[in-house]
Structures are given as C-alpha cells and as structure tokens.
C-alpha cells in the first residue's frame, strides 16, 4: 500500500477533517507538555519538540488527503494558539509548584542555596540562605534577584557569614510583588576576574497565580507562533510550491504533446500555431 492508497482511504472517512485536527492537536499538545515538564532544561530537546510539532501538523492532514492551503494555514494557526495557551498555563503552574530545576555551582563550593518560603504574600519577608564549603572563602557572597525574564532587579553583598562556623550566609528581604529568580554567586579570586560561580533558581514568588496567568498564556502563544507556526508555514509553502510546479509541468507536457513540432534550428518544442521559436527566434511560414 503506497501513500496514495492511504490518502484515498483516509480521505473517505466521515468527518476526516475533524479527525486529523484532533490528532494534530493531541500529539502537538503532548509534545508541548513533554517539552515543558521533561525537556525544559535541554535546548536541543526543546528545539526537537518544536520541529516535531511542525512536521506532524503538516504530515497528518497530508495523509488525510487535504490539499487546500488555507485549511492548512487556519488549522495550524488555531492549533498552535490553543496549545500555546495551555503550555503557557502549565509552565506557570510548574513554576508556582516549585517543580523546576536549579543552577548548581560546578565546583560544589556553593550549595544548598534556597529561598524560604518559596511562595508567600506580597508583604512577606523572604529569607535567602546559602552555604560555602571551599578552603579559601571569598571576600563576599553575592545575591542577585531577577525578574521572570532574567533581568536583574536587586543585588546584595553578603560580606560576613551569618553563621561563621558553618559558612552559612543569610539575608532577609521583602521584594515587590512578582515572580523572581535568585542567584548566589562569587568571584573565584575576588580580584575582578570574570571567573564566576553560580547557584540558584526560581523564587521567591509573592504574586497571585491568577495575576500572571494571562501573561504566561500570551507568552505561550507567542512562543508557538514564532517557532512551531513559522516552521509549519515554511513547510506549507514548500508543499504548495512543489504541487504547483508539478501541475505546471503537467500542463506544459500536455500542451507540448498536442499540435507541436521541433524547431529545425535549435530543437526546441514549438506549438503548432506559433510563427517563431520561443527559444532561438527562428521564424516559420504560416505557423508549423
């Protein structure tokens, strides 16, 4: 059974359009959720999920015999917008739950960096704690707070350990309402070199979930439109171009086989009623 047999059979199924849209939606949604839950820390896996979603959204309707370009475009737009909203909401829920990976210091000298509590009211005083276990303590441990996009909003210098015997550094602070990331870091030599070591992650969060839901749903839509949908539209354009080229070649072949002859000068195929060769310009008396 070749692809044309498969297309013929699938296209005859009742409600075939609804079926392939449901298949595309389900598979792309699973890919999006997988990327958020299991692959969010690996750029290559995230990119692979994006590519797979675009390919699947193109192949499934093709197997169902869909040939209308506008149906491809509209279906892809709706599917990716809805999935973007769902994935954005799922990512926000994951951030609020605390089920997100942290950055670990590659030397292991900075460890157990936390913010407590992870989630609190807008006026809550959060406590930031980190431990250092290296042999030569740096002059200071730095704490930087960043917004959800990664832009630094506050910076602090912890010069003296809160608990010297355990090299425990601590700071309490009440940031404005929002979703934050925190980073503990230090300079290896303390002399202005650029060799920095980090540990940190999401938190604190002192903004209600519903206040950020619309923002993350919009971010999800933008992400899917700028990645998956763009890739999908490139595939649709390529499909249209190949199909159009095949159609034009068939028309040329049909016109060449009916009432045509070979030019005696260059050998080009010339229509029977032509008075000159379209390739070399040779003139013919009274057509062919």
Residues 144 and 152 sit within 8 Å (Cβ to Cβ): yes
Greatest Cα-to-Cα distance within the chain, rounded to the nearest angstrom: 108
Over the stretch 188-239, which tens digit does the pLDDT of each residue have? 654 554 456 778 888 899 988 888 888 888 988 888 888 777 888 888 888 8
Residues carrying CATH 2.60.40.1930, the chain: 110-207
Secondary-structure breakdown of the chain: helix, strand, coil percentages, each rounded to the nearest 5? 45, 20, 30
19: Cβ–Cβ under 8 A, 6 or more apart, which residues?
13, 64
Angle value at C-alpha 74, between 73 and 75, nearest 5 degrees: 95
Contacts of 168 (CB under 8 A, 6+ apart): 129, 130, 131, 161, 162
Q: What is the pLDDT of residues 66-77, one digit of tens each?
A: 888 888 888 888
For all residues of the chain together, what is the average pLDDT?
80
Neighbours of 192 (CB within 10 A): 6
What is the C-alpha end-to-end distance of the chain, expressed in Å? 46
- pLDDT reported for residue 248: 77
Rounded to whole angstroms, the Cα distance separating 184 from 114 reads 9
Please state which of the four CATH numbers 3.30.1490.20, 1.10.3720.10, 3.40.50.720, 2.60.40.1930 is assigned to the domain occupying 110-207: 2.60.40.1930
Residue with tokens 């919009």: 218
- Using alpha carbons only, give the angle 111, 116, 120 rounded to the nearest 5 degrees: 150
pLDDT at 11: 67
pTM: 0.66
Q: What is residue 144's predicted lDDT score, i.e. its pLDDT?
A: 92
Question: In angstroms, rounded to a whole number, what is the distance separating the alpha carbons of residues 73 and 59?
Answer: 13
């Amino acid at each position: 059974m070749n692809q044309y047999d498969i297309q013929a059979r699938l296209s005859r199924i009742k409600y075939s359009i609804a079926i392939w849209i449901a298949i595309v939606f389900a598979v792309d949604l699973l890919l999006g959720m997988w990327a958020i839950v299991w692959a969010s820390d690996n750029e290559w896996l995230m990119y692979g999920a994006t590519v797979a979603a675009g390919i699947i959204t193109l192949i499934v309707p093709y197997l169902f015999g869909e040939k209308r370009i506008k149906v491809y475009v509209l279906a892809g737009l709706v599917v990716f917008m809805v999935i973007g909203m769902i994935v954005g909401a799922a990512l926000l829920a994951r951030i609020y739950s605390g089920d997100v990976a942290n950055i670990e210091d590659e030397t292991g000298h900075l460890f157990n960096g936390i913010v407590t509590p992870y989630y609190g009211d807008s006026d809550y005083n959060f406590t930031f704690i980190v431990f250092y276990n290296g042999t030569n303590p740096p002059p200071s441990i730095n704490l930087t707070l960043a917004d959800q996009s990664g832009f630094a909003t506050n910076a602090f210098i912890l010069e003296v350990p809160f608990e010297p015997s355990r090299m425990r550094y601590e700071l309490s602070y009440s940031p404005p309402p929002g979703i934050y990331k925190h980073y503990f870091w230090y300079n290896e030599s303390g002399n202005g070199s650029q060799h920095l070591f980090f540990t940190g992650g999401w938190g604190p969060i002192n903004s209600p979930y519903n206040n950020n839901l619309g923002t993350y749903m919009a971010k999800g839509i933008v992400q899917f439109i700028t990645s998956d949908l763009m890739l999908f539209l490139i595939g649709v354009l390529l499909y249209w171009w190949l199909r159009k080229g095949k159609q034009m070649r068939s028309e040329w072949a049909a016109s060449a086989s009916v009432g045509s002859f070979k030019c005696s000068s260059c050998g080009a195929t010339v229509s029977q009623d032509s008075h000159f060769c379209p390739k070399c310009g040779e003139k013919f008396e009274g057509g062919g």
